[in-house]
Structure formats: structure tokens, C-alpha cells
Structure 1
């Protein structure tokens, strides 16, 4: 069984290598096609549950169309990842442009947390930031599949040589990187379980949310700069927002609410591009059932 999984992984890598040889528009079309297939063959259930919880007043037919649009965009982003794994630097970097990069320039010498919510383009926006602003850092979770782990890791470090920290290294390693002057690319908007989390609203739903963003900002004396990657018709745009003022405020719950409110505002601008395939509401307050359990 292990041999079969390994062979399947290598076949997947070979497919992505061949895919990157196509014109970018063709790669996008293939990705949208695979996203449609993934949705049609049962992978869309989690997205539909998430959308029903976040947009209960939206007609079901409209929510289903939104879930399908999400999978098409997600499939395209995954297919275009092949360019970042195997393509020329000029081609990969040319797919992404940065808007508002002057906010990073103005904070040189200051610890900066790049708060990057889980929009589907973040794995393409991150390398662009690493390329334009060398010396970044981020968290990397080792994958169980060694083939996938190798290529995911190499894809992250091809441009700009970011420092990848293991999640097991904890807060101290992150604070050290921040104090070294690195931009820390941080993605705190996933369900990591109850540990170090509190329940705050996300689209009105009590949501288990890690408190690491304000805690890290306080410990390192860092500025928080929200950064969102949007998938466009012909590539990706990384929008660097102004650094948050009066953050952290000293009220952890209020600071985490501010984080979720910002994400909500961005989701409403491009609802199909938030990562709805993640079981964001799996951890529930005591007495509430897991909404994904069949």
C-alpha cells in the first residue's frame, strides 16, 4: 500500500511538471475543470455547510453556485502552483503583483507580522513577498507524504529563501525571527482545536480562533500588517493594507474579534475565494455538535 501511495504521488508530481509547460490560460482552464470534478464528486459538502452557517439568509441555490465557484478558483490556484514549483522565476513572479508594498518599506527595522488570511491565492502571494522583500519567515507543517512534503517545501523556498519554522518550535522561535527583522507571514484563521483558542464570532457563528496574533504582536513589539491575495483574470494581486493602529489593545478577545471582522470584510469582497473547503467550525462550544459529522 505504501508503494502504491508513493507511485501515485510521483505520478501527481509528473502531471504537475507536464502541466507547467502549458500556456498559463490553459493551466487555469485545466485547474477549473479539476475543481469542478472535485466538487461534483463529493468534495463540496464541507464548503456548502460552511456557507450555510455563514450566509443563512442566502438562497440555497445561490450558496451552491458560490461553492462551485470556490472549487473552480481553488482548482485553478492549485494548478497554477505548478508554475511556482517548476517554472522559471520570471514567469512565476510575473503572475503576481503587489499593491501597497510601501507599507513594508516604511516599517524597515520594525518587527512585522504579515497577517495573511486563507484566501486561495496565499500560496502564490507568499513567494512573491519573499522575492520582493527577502528575509521573510513563516510556519511550515511537515506532511506525512514524503514526496508531497519535498515539493511543497521546495516550492516555498525557491524564491527569496524564506526561513521556515516548524509549528513545534513554538512562539519563542517566531518572536526570535521577528526580532531579527524578518517579515513573518502568518495564517492564523484556521481551526487548530481548543488549545490557545477562544470562541469569537465569525459571520455570527461562535468560532474557535487562536489568540496568537495579538499575543505575538505584544511579545515581539510587532506591527500587524493585513495582506490579502486576490485571484484575478490574468494572475494574482497581493494587497498590503496599512498597519493596524492600537494593536494589540490589551484586550485579547477584542483583538481577535478585530481579526475576524477584517476577514469578514474581505470575504464579502470576493466570497468565492475564501478557503471554504476547510472545516472551520469543527471545534464547537460545549454541548454543540460537530456540524460536519454525518
Structure 2
């Protein structure tokens, strides 16, 4: 017999030992989150900023992505100003990791006292047409979901990215759905289950501003840079006769909690031009980022997909 070990297939699954270690690590992380929910939010805020400072030093690839995104979106800003925004972003990012303990385990009454609602949160309750909540990727977007489930009765649905670790995936689903009257569908299952739910009367919690590649997307300006952007918000709203209500979530400093703004529904959206609708949507997201630049999700490769013939930006 040859002494050369067989080569592993590049797509081979982790061994049992690796899987067990991953499960144990996830359970330890969840136990830490449970303990954190016992602390005041001000303490979680301080710990989160400390974690963010550590991530700034250790997560080099994500730091570079954030700085590159800011360079593309704010080319006229001095480099020191962009770095300051990125450092602040990592502080909020660290807090967003730790405050999941509150969102997943704290009593409903405590969360109601910390989530400050502005605007018409009950629009979907009253509407005869299905409602699409349009929620950009600010770091407190999970708070928007909790605020909806705690303050209105319309059943809600959304799509989420299934996690590779099943222990963490179950915990995330349970945490997001623990107030009931909601369902989240894996992106792997496509849009059909969600569309059926909307036709039954569910509202749709829609996160419209990530790069999912060229499929069903168009290159639409985002801070002047062509960005692959899903046309689905316009197309779904038109196909299902939906009311579109923008929603923005914001972390407040210290122990003040969060602010979730439910804006007036767009009266002239959708139109019969999905591209123009998507341009309008991106312009609105830009305006919200300018209000609160450090809390947008800068560590995502928003400009990863490029038009044919264009070189990569990262």
C-alpha cells in the first residue's frame, strides 16, 4: 500500500470532530449572550465598543473593506475623516453583536422600554393591501424587526441567510421569531414561499441593499458608483399591489436604547419602471446614510459585482 494519504475533495464536509467543536463553540457564545442580557444596555454598549476596537485591530480584511467602501462613497472626504467613521462603525458593530443577547433573551417589556418608535408602526394592521417594510442595512435592523413584532399585530415574513452552524442558525431563528406572528424563509428556498405568505396577508420585512450578484439585479448608482441592486422591491410591490413603507433603525448612545423610524409610505412607488424605482430607492438610502454614516453596514462588499469588463474594486 502507498504511504501517501488520499487527497481530500475540496468540497468535503468537516469531520465529526470539527463539527462537534463548532457546535460547542456556538453554545458557549450563546451562553455568553444569555449572560449579557442580564446587564444594563449601557454596560453592553461599553463592552461592545471595546469589542469593536479589538475587531478593528484583528479583523483586517473587514477593516479594509470598510475603508474601501468609504473611499468609494466619500472620495472627497479626507482619509482621516473616513478612518474616523470606520472606527466608529466598528464600535457600533461590536455592540450589535453583543446586544443580540438582549434581543433574543430579554423580556418583551424591557425591550418595549428601550425601543423608541417614531411614526406609524401600525400601518400594516390597518392596510387592506399588503405592506412592504423597506429596511436598509443599518446595524440595528434586527431591532426594527423586534419593534414591529412588539407593537403591531399584522403577521410578518422575511428572508434570511441561513447560517452554516446549525446551532447558531436555530438560535437566531428562535430569537427573531420568539414574539410570534412571523415567519422567516431561507434564501436558499427562493421567493415562492414568501410570495405565498404575502398573498395570505403577511407583511414583508425587506432588506433591499446587499450585493447578490447579477441575477435579477441592475447596476444602479450608489453614491455615484454602479452597484448591483435587486429590482425585486419594485417588481414585487407592483405584482402584489403592495404599500411600501421605509423603516430605519438607529442605535442610541449609552443605555438610551434604539430609535426606529416608520416613515410615510411612498405614494408613487412602484411605477412601471423598475430601474427608475430602484434608483429612487438607492437615493433614499444614501440620504439616510448621510444622517448616520457610522451605523451603515460598511463591512459588506457592496460593490463586489462589477459591470462586464470592469475590474474589481476590492
Rounded to whole Å, the distance in 1 between the matches of 2:26 and 2:99 is: 18
Unaligned runs of 5+ in 1: none
Rounded to whole Å, the distance in 2 between the matches of 1:52 and 1:12 is: 34
Aligned to 2:297: 275
The structure 2 residue matched to 1:250, chosen from 257, 267, 272, is: 272
* Shift, 1:106, TM fit: 7.6
Rounded to whole Å, the distance in 2 between the matches of 1:104 and 1:274 is: 26
The CA deviation string for residues 36-77 of structure 1, in whole angstroms up to 9 with x for no partner, is 110122231110010000000110011001001011112112
Aligned to 2:112: 93
Larger radius of gyration: 2
TM-score calculated relative to the size of structure 1: 0.95
The structure 1 residue matched to 2:246, chosen from 208, 217, 226, is: 226
Aligned to 1:124: 143
Q: Does 1:14 align with 2:31?
A: yes
CA contact (8 A) 1:131 1:160 kept: no
Aligned to 1:34: 51
Larger mean CA deviation between 111-120 and 5-14 belongs to 5-14
Larger mean CA deviation between 167-176 and 43-52 belongs to 167-176
CA contact (8 A) 1:103 1:243 kept: no
Aligned to 2:262: 240
In the superposition, relative to structure 1, how do residues 105 and 140 fare at CA in structure 2: closer, same or farther (>3 Å)?
closer
Q: Does 1:104 align with 2:126?
A: no
Aligned to 2:14: none
Within 5 Å, which residues of 2 pair with 1:123-142?
Answer: 123-134=142-153, 135-142=155-162
Indicate the SS of the match to 2:65: helix
Rounded to whole Å, the distance in 2 between the matches of 1:58 and 1:166 is: 39
Indicate the SS of the match to 2:190: helix
Indicate the SS of the match to 1:114: strand
* Shift, 1:180, TM fit: 2.4
Rounded to whole Å, the distance in 2 between the matches of 1:38 and 1:161 is: 36
Rounded to whole Å, the distance in 2 between the matches of 1:108 and 1:190 is: 28
Aligned to 2:3: none
Rounded to whole Å, the distance in 2 between the matches of 1:71 and 1:56 is: 20
Rounded to whole Å, the distance in 1 between the matches of 2:171 and 2:124 is: 31
Rounded to whole Å, the distance in 2 between the matches of 1:144 and 1:181 is: 31
The CA deviation string for residues 113-141 of structure 1, in whole angstroms up to 9 with x for no partner, is 00000011101111110221231111123
Q: Does 1:150 align with 2:170?
A: yes
* Shift, 1:231, TM fit: 1.2
Q: Does 1:266 align with 2:288?
A: yes
The CA deviation string for residues 141-196 of structure 1, in whole angstroms up to 9 with x for no partner, is 32110111011101110123312123244333333322322221000100001110
The structure 1 residue matched to 2:100, chosen from 81, 85, 106, is: 81
CA contact (8 A) 2:270 2:277 kept: yes
Rounded to whole Å, the distance in 2 between the matches of 1:102 and 1:197 is: 30
